[in-house]
């Protein structure tokens, strides 16, 4: 906290403290709790009183967790007898607690009556007092860990879909518990026969199973992507999620998630009664949304010291990397909202400029991980780094979470392999908010492709691949269409997210199918010819010549390729193509289609270097930018020289320069210092 604020007199603080907020004794770790007064009229305005207690005492209370929603204060409550405006979200939550929750402990399975005292940050902390707010944030961990229970209010359920999801999740958890009590064997699917609605689906796409679509919507609520919500859920001893008039316990959700992992990892075969399209869809955690529960589960294990979660970095500032998509209303809370989960010497201070806080966090993060890998989240990109006056090497945590941009996958690339032999000291250091790093320039950007829609990308593939005909293959000697495919997926298996360990024919075929423009499905065979393939019996020969050699492919995989390639010649309408698409999806469980969409959503751009390399870089990449390899960074960086300094544009993938090839071509005198501002 800033010294100027610490020196404020108590009288000065009293002037800005609303009348219902009395002073708090920091030495006793005091907080305010909310007592919700009963009312016979369910529609009457909620009336509450504030009570000051010490966390050192044994006062029982319930901590409330909720999304603030729109910041406008439009709803009235009575606070200590004074009419006070609060947000719609808070007013609805307090109304629901008064009318429903306080009398519901038996139906929830809670053995003791729910305490009548509550903690809600928006009213229990004086939001107009930055000093008090900064201090109370340091107590968040204790507040939520000491609470009798935590109620996560997810809002009203206007259309009934989320209530449907919770009811079925509760039912699944209940059936799994019965199964474990009666016969703890490996058969965890037979009970589903009693509930055919849970696996009933039509033949169309997308899937029309209402239950799983509702569960998908539940796990994709904005609620799950709030940084404070994550901390509050992780720290709770007993966590209940409430939406409308239904609720579910955290333990039930985790039981269903663990059950879903059996499907995801193929630990058991698909039951005969379960439709293959639905089974395959449930195996994709990104579609269902299980990863939000996995994050909560992982951090609860880390905080409790669970040996199942050995990732020590999760308790450090590296948590910023794992929670980049989690949002906060106040940009500072992207950092402060994690302090209850991690070990850090950062002290909450809401008077500190965002640029100072983010720069401090970025410098500490680089030192903590001992590399430049966090630069993956930094750079000009298409994210506004000037909004807070940030250096280009400092991630704009707030804007990253607000956009759809995701990072390039943190796989074991080795672009800087061997560079340590050329360095005499540390690979980088930060001095006065300037990042000093050492490395070399390996390429310059010659040409940048425009943004691609599906049709433009297909044309780019045709034009780029056609140069093979004259023997002009990619600089590494591979066919040019293969270079595009491997650049799009960045040499990463789209299912396992690991580097390709063998020729990925199955995903390569999906790539061919997916780049055909959707409105040109009926001309699929003709479009294949434009790519250099010959539909029908000659397909495999043209595939070998223009894309990938099939030497060593097992017979089953070869038959699949043959069968599907022959079917391309039999597409006479959209339903023919749909049947082909579903056939491949059922035969080969792969989510490359989803992954390719994610890659395109990154808004990265294809670029060409002066020596003919193909790269995928940030959308802000311009001709004349430099492709550089820096010590401590396993991926190349796009840098832009401005006078004697450099701006970080962002990380990039350049096929043929990802495994130390550039390092092996330089001498010691080519290592230079880059001052990145």
- Cβ atoms 36, 118 nearer than 8 A: yes
The string of pLDDT tens digits covering residues 617-640 is 998 999 999 999 999 999 999 999
Residue 11: per-residue pLDDT: 39
The string of pLDDT tens digits covering residues 39-67 is 889 889 999 999 999 999 989 999 999 88
- Torsion, Cα of 562, 564, 565, 568 (10° steps): 150
Nearest CA among 621, 633, 629 for reference residue 657: 629
Question: Domain for residue 84, yes or no?
Answer: yes
Nearest CA among 57, 379, 400 for reference residue 227: 400
Domain check: are 144 and 169 in the same one?
Answer: no
The string of pLDDT tens digits covering residues 384-442 is 656 789 999 999 999 888 774 555 656 679 999 999 999 888 889 999 999 999 999 99
Question: Domain for residue 644, yes or no?
Answer: yes
Nearest CA among 124, 135, 133, 18 for reference residue 66: 124
Question: Domain for residue 275, yes or no?
Answer: yes
Q: Is the pLDDT of residue 376 over 90?
A: no
Domain check: are 169 and 191 in the same one?
Answer: yes
The string of pLDDT tens digits covering residues 594-612 is 455 546 645 689 999 999 9
Q: How much of the chain, in percent, has pLDDT values that exceed 70?
A: 80
Across the strands, what pairs with 85?
76
Residue 579: per-residue pLDDT: 53
Nearest CA among 325, 360, 286, 361 for reference residue 590: 286
How much is the average pLDDT of 466-486? 88
E strands, 535-654, are 605-609, 614-617, 626-630, 637-642, 645-651, 653-654
Question: Domain for residue 250, yes or no?
Answer: yes
Question: Domain for residue 591, yes or no?
Answer: yes
Domain check: are 175 and 274 in the same one?
Answer: yes
Nearest CA among 63, 395, 93, 350 for reference residue 229: 63
- Cβ atoms 445, 609 nearer than 8 A: yes
Mark which of 153, 173, 195 sits at the end of a domain. 153
- Tally of CB atoms within 10 A around 124: 22
Domain check: are 458 and 586 in the same one?
Answer: yes
- Give the chain's mean pLDDT: 82
- Cβ atoms 187, 288 nearer than 8 A: no
Residue 592: per-residue pLDDT: 45
Of 484-498, 532-546, 595-609, 653-667, the poorest mean pLDDT is in 595-609
Domain check: are 187 and 278 in the same one?
Answer: yes
Cβ neighbors of 194 (< 8 A, separation 6 or more) are none
Of 70-74, 110-114, 274-278, 308-312, the poorest mean pLDDT is in 308-312
Domain check: are 147 and 71 in the same one?
Answer: yes
Residue 303: per-residue pLDDT: 78
Q: How much of the chain, in percent, has pLDDT values that exceed 90?
A: 44
Residue 531's pLDDT band, with cuts at 50, 70 and 90, is: confident
Reply yes or no: is the peptide bond before residue 92 cis, omega within 30 of 0.
Answer: no
Entry pTM: 0.82
First to last CA, the chain: 27
Domain check: are 280 and 225 in the same one?
Answer: yes
Burial 42-71 (b: 16+ CB within 10 A, else e): eeeebbbeeeebeeeeeeebbbbbbbbeee
Domain check: are 390 and 528 in the same one?
Answer: no
How much is the average pLDDT of 241-269? 85
Q: Is the pLDDT of residue 1 over 60?
A: no
Residue 386: per-residue pLDDT: 62
- Cβ atoms 241, 96 nearer than 8 A: no
Question: Domain for residue 351, yes or no?
Answer: no
Question: Domain for residue 321, yes or no?
Answer: no
Query: Which of residues 541 and 614 earns the better pLDDT score?
Result: 614
Residue 496: per-residue pLDDT: 66
The string of pLDDT tens digits covering residues 175-230 is 998 887 776 556 788 889 999 999 887 655 556 788 998 999 999 998 999 999 99
Question: Domain for residue 340, yes or no?
Answer: no
Residue 514: per-residue pLDDT: 77
In terms of residue numbers, what domain contains 103? 3-153
**Range with the largest mean pLDDT of 97-111, 372-386, 566-580:** 372-386
Nearest CA among 652, 645, 573, 655 for reference residue 619: 652
Domain check: are 39 and 137 in the same one?
Answer: yes
Mark which of 87, 122, 153 sits at the end of a domain. 153
Q: Is the pLDDT of residue 543 over 50?
A: yes
Domain check: are 395 and 487 in the same one?
Answer: no
Domain check: are 390 and 431 in the same one?
Answer: yes
Angstrom distance (rounded) from CA 396 to CA 354: 9
Angstrom distance (rounded) from CA 139 to CA 137: 5
Residue 13: per-residue pLDDT: 38
Query: Which of residues 490 and 534 earns the better pLDDT score?
Result: 490
Tally the C-alpha atoms within 13 A of residue 507's C-alpha that lie toward its C-beta: 25
Quote the crossing angle between the two packed helices 592-601 and 505-514, to the nearest 10°. Answer: 60
- Cβ atoms 267, 194 nearer than 8 A: no
Across the strands, what pairs with 443?
627
Mark which of 536, 562, 597 sits at the end of a domain. 597
C-alpha distances out from residue 243 to 43, 222, 540, Å: 18, 13, 54
- Number of domains present in the structure of the chain: 4
Angstrom distance (rounded) from CA 312 to CA 332: 24
Residue 251: per-residue pLDDT: 93
Q: Is the pLDDT of residue 330 over 70?
A: yes
Across the strands, what pairs with 393?
none
Q: Is the pLDDT of residue 574 over 60?
A: no
Which token pair is 96?
Answer: 């629901």
Of 174-188, 299-313, 362-376, 430-444, the poorest mean pLDDT is in 299-313
Across the strands, what pairs with 327?
226
Burial class (CB in 10 A: 0-12, 13-18, 19+), 583: middle
Domain check: are 61 and 128 in the same one?
Answer: yes
The string of pLDDT tens digits covering residues 275-290 is 877 887 787 767 788 8
Query: Which of residues 282 and 478 earns the better pLDDT score?
Result: 478
């Amino acid at each position: 906290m800033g010294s100027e604020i610490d020196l404020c007199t108590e009288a000065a603080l009293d002037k800005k403290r609303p009348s219902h907020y009395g002073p708090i004794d920091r030495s006793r770790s005091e907080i305010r709790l909310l007592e919700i007064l009963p009312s016979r009229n369910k529609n009457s305005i909620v009336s509450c009183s504030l009570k000051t207690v010490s966390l050192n005492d044994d006062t029982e209370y319930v901590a409330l967790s909720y999304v603030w929603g729109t910041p406008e204060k439009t709803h009235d409550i009575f606070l200590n007898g004074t009419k006070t405006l609060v947000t719609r979200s808070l007013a609805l939550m307090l109304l629901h607690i008064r009318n429903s929750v306080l009398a519901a402990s038996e139906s929830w399975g809670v053995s003791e009556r729910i305490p009548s005292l509550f903690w809600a940050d928006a009213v229990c902390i004086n939001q107009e007092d930055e000093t008090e707010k900064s201090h109370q944030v340091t107590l968040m961990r204790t507040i939520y860990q000491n609470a009798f229970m935590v109620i996560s209010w997810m809002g009203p359920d206007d259309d009934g879909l989320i209530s449907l999801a919770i009811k079925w999740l509760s039912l699944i958890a209940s059936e799994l518990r019965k199964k474990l009590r009666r016969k703890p064997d490996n058969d965890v699917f037979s009970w589903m026969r009693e509930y055919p609605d849970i696996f009933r689906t039509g033949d169309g796409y997308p899937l029309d199973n209402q239950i799983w679509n509702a569960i998908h919507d539940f796990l994709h609520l904005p609620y799950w992507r709030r940084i404070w919500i994550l901390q509050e859920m992780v720290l709770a001893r007993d966590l209940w999620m409430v939406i409308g008039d239904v609720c579910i316990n955290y333990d039930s959700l985790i039981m269903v998630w663990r059950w879903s992992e059996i499907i995801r990892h193929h630990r058991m075969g698909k039951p005969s009664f379960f439709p293959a399209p639905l089974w395959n869809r449930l195996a994709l955690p990104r579609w269902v949304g299980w990863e939000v529960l996995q994050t909560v589960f992982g951090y609860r294990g880390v905080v409790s010291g669970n040996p199942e979660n050995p990732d020590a970095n999760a308790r450090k500032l590296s948590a910023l990397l794992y929670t980049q998509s989690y949002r906060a209303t106040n940009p500072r809370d992207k950092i402060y909202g994690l302090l209850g989960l991690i070990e850090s010497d950062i002290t909450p201070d809401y008077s500190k400029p965002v640029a100072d806080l983010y720069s401090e966090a970025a410098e500490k993060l680089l030192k903590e991980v001992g590399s430049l890998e966090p630069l993956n989240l930094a750079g000009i990109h298409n994210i506004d780094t000037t909004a807070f006056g940030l250096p280009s090497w400092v991630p704009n945590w707030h804007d990253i979470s607000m956009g759809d941009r995701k990072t390039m996958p943190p796989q074991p690339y080795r672009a800087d392999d061997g560079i340590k032999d050329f360095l005499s000291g540390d690979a980088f250091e930060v001095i006065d908010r300037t990042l000093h790093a050492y490395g070399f320039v390996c390429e310059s950007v010659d040409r940048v492709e425009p943004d691609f829609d599906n049709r433009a990308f297909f044309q780019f593939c045709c034009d780029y691949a056609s140069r093979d005909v004259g023997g002009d293959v990619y600089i590494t000697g591979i066919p040019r269409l293969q270079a595009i495919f491997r650049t799009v997926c960045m040499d990463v298996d789209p299912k396992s997210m690991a580097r390709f360990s063998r020729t990925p024919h199955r995903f390569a075929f999906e790539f061919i199918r997916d780049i055909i423009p959707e409105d040109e499905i009926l001309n699929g065979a003709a479009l294949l010819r434009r790519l250099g393939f010959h539909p029908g019996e000659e397909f495999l020969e043209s595939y070998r010549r223009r894309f990938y050699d099939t030497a060593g492919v097992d017979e089953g995989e070869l038959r699949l390729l043959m069968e599907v390639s022959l079917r391309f010649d039999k597409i006479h309408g959209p339903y023919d193509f749909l049947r082909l698409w579903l056939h491949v999806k059922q035969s080969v469980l792969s989510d490359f289609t989803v992954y390719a969409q994610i890659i395109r959503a990154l808004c990265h751009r294809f670029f060409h270097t002066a020596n003919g390399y193909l790269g995928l870089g940030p959308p802000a990449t311009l001709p004349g930018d430099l492709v550089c390899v820096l010590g401590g960074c396993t991926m190349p960086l796009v840098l832009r020289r401005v006078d004697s300094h450099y701006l970080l544009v962002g990380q990039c993938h350049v096929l043929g320069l990802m495994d130390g090839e550039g390092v092996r071509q330089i001498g010691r005198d080519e290592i230079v210092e880059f001052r990145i501002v």
